[in-house]
Amino acid sequence: MTDDSQTRIADAVRSADVLLFMKGTPLFPQCGFSSRAVAILDHLGVEYATVDVLQDQGIRQGIKTFSDWPTIPQLYVKGEFVGGSDIMMEMYEAGELAGLFASKGVACAA
Amino acid sequence: MAMTTAEIEALIRAAFPDAEVEVTDLAGDGEHYAARVTSGRFRGLSRVRQHQQVYQALGGRMGNELHALQLTTAAPD
């Protein structure tokens, strides 16, 4: 069960350049922190995929082990764990998030 | 089961004796906190590693008893 969720998480992380594990969907986030993460990505105009952890208990618990990170949302860029919503906000405000996307070859519209 | 500002502060201080720790109860409901931790131990560490160390100090409470903790970490100037 645990191993299966770890494999599924690894597959998901590989499947998209920018992947956000969140509660709810971009249109209907179910948590203020997830909502903030979505707003940052939208503002940068980057293309991203999301996984709604509320739809999958295995992933909801497994992602915490996968990244050694206890909370959701979690952002992955090109397979690398970037951080949760506080780190996203800090990096966004410092202009570092746009820089990270640029350095990883991810296009930003904004 | 909510935690108090003092409990959160004590756990962080126990793990980071040198740190400046400031914990704020954002909503006054014992559920939503912000913490600012400044410690020399953060020097040279990525933000992810810095936050992971604070989460370790909270010993598994983060995401459980402690639902929302807006975390800011820094090394002293």
Residue B77 lies in a domain: no
The per-residue pLDDT for B1 is 58
Domains of chain A (ranges plus CATH)? 2-103 (3.40.30.10)
pLDDT tens, position by position, A17-58: 999 999 999 999 999 999 999 999 999 999 999 999 999 999
Residue at B51 is within a domain = yes
The yes-or-no verdict on residue A3 having pLDDT over 70 is no
Structural domain total, chain B: 1
State the pLDDT at residue A110. Answer: 61
φ, ψ (nearest 5 deg) of residue A57: -60, -35
ipTM confidence score: 0.83
Minimal C-alpha gap between B63 and chain A (Å) = 6
Instruction: Establish how many alpha carbons lie within 13 A of residue B5's alpha carbon, considering only the half-sphere containing its beta carbon.
Output: 13
**CATH number of domain containing B42:** 3.30.300.90
| pTM for this entry | 0.90
> Domain residues for B49?
5-70
* Residue ranges of chain B whose CB lies within 8 Å of a chain A CB: 47-48, 51-52, 55, 60, 62-64, 68, 70-72
> pLDDT tens, position by position, for chain B (77 residues)?
578 999 999 999 999 999 999 999 998 888 889 999 999 999 999 999 999 999 999 998 988 888 889 999 999 98
Compute the distance between CA of residue B12 and CA of residue A16 in angstroms, rounded to an integer: 36
